């Protein structure tokens, strides 16, 4: 075998080795990136209570703010998802906040609000609603899960006043803790508006 042929073979072997290393690094990078992206969507499932990411329909938002006509801000959406309810609230004149565990949805909501021209009246936080103080808000919106409503009812009772407007979408609060101010049927997405029991 000539020296040039031997050098070519060594060069080809080194090139194949480099390709394998790059492919391996790319595969590991893809896995790590997928975990980083999917983690915020999956980890809430492991918690005792989590808010499912089910975006509100346009009709639900229309009914929601029709019901809240005359309500006072500031407003918060618990589990704000992609920010559509908070942005709609800002367009209605509320100073509106959203809390959400998923950092990607928080970042997306901020961008969406900026593009909608509502960023001066909105704020989005990555926060656990169970550790977040709700006493500063006059209007509270929640799209909850059935298993969390009893515990949430207690938290809201402790952190709100009889003047606070609360709208629960999809599932009601505990009837032992709350009087229903009104109810609106929206197909599979009913809305309940609450005020605290005065006694």
pLDDT at 176: 80
| pLDDT given at position 105 | 94
Q: What's the chain look like in SS3?
A: CCHHHHHHHHHHHHHHHHHHHHHHHHHHHHHHHHHHHHHHHHHHHHCCCCCCCCCCCHHHHHHHHHHCCCCCCCEEEECCCCCHHHHHHHHCCCCEEEEECCHHHHHHHHHHHHHHCCHHHEEEEECCHHHCCCCCCCEEEEECCHHHHHHHHHHHHHHCCCCCEEEEECCCCCCCCEEEEEEECCCCCCEEEEEECCC
- Residue 43 CA from chain centroid, whole number: 13
- State residue 198's pLDDT score: 59
Q: Is the pLDDT of residue 178 over 50?
A: yes
Instruction: Provide the pLDDT for residue 52.
Output: 61
pLDDT value at position 27? 54
User: 145-171 pLDDT, tens per residue?
Assistant: 888 999 999 999 999 988 899 999 888
Fold of 58-196: Rossmann fold (3.40.50)
Q: Where are the domains of the chain?
A: 3-46, 58-196
Residue 28, pLDDT > 60, answer no
pLDDT of the residue at 18: 66
Q: How confident is the model at residue 8 (pLDDT cuts 50, 70, 90)?
A: low
| Per-residue model confidence (pLDDT) at position 14 | 65
- pLDDT tens sequence across 29-63: 444 344 344 444 444 444 455 556 677 889 899 99
Confidence of residue 118 (pLDDT cuts 50, 70, 90): very high
> Is the pTM for the entire model greater than 0.95?
no
pLDDT given for residue 144 in this prediction: 86
């Amino acid at each position: 075998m000539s020296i040039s042929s031997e050098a070519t073979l060594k060069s080809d072997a080194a090139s194949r080795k480099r390709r394998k290393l790059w492919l391996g690094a790319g595969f590991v990078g893809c896995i790590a990136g997928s975990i980083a992206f999917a983690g915020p969507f999956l980890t809430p499932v492991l918690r005792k209570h989590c808010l499912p990411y089910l975006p509100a329909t346009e009709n639900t938002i229309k009914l929601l703010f029709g019901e809240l006509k005359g309500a006072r801000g500031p407003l918060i959406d618990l589990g704000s998802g992609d920010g559509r309810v908070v942005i709609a609230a800002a367009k209605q004149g509320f100073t509106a906040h959203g809390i959400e565990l998923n950092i990607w949805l928080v970042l997306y909501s901020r961008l969406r609000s900026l593009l909608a021209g509502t960023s001066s009246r909105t704020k989005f936080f990555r926060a656990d609603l169970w550790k977040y103080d709700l006493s500063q808000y006059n209007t509270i919106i929640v799209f909850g899960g059935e298993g969390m409503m009893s515990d949430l009812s207690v938290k809201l009772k402790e952190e709100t006043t009889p003047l606070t407007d609360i709208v629960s979408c999809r599932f009601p609060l505990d009837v032992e803790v709350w009087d229903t101010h009104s109810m609106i049927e929206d197909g599979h997405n009913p809305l309940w508006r609450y005020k605290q029991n005065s006694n």
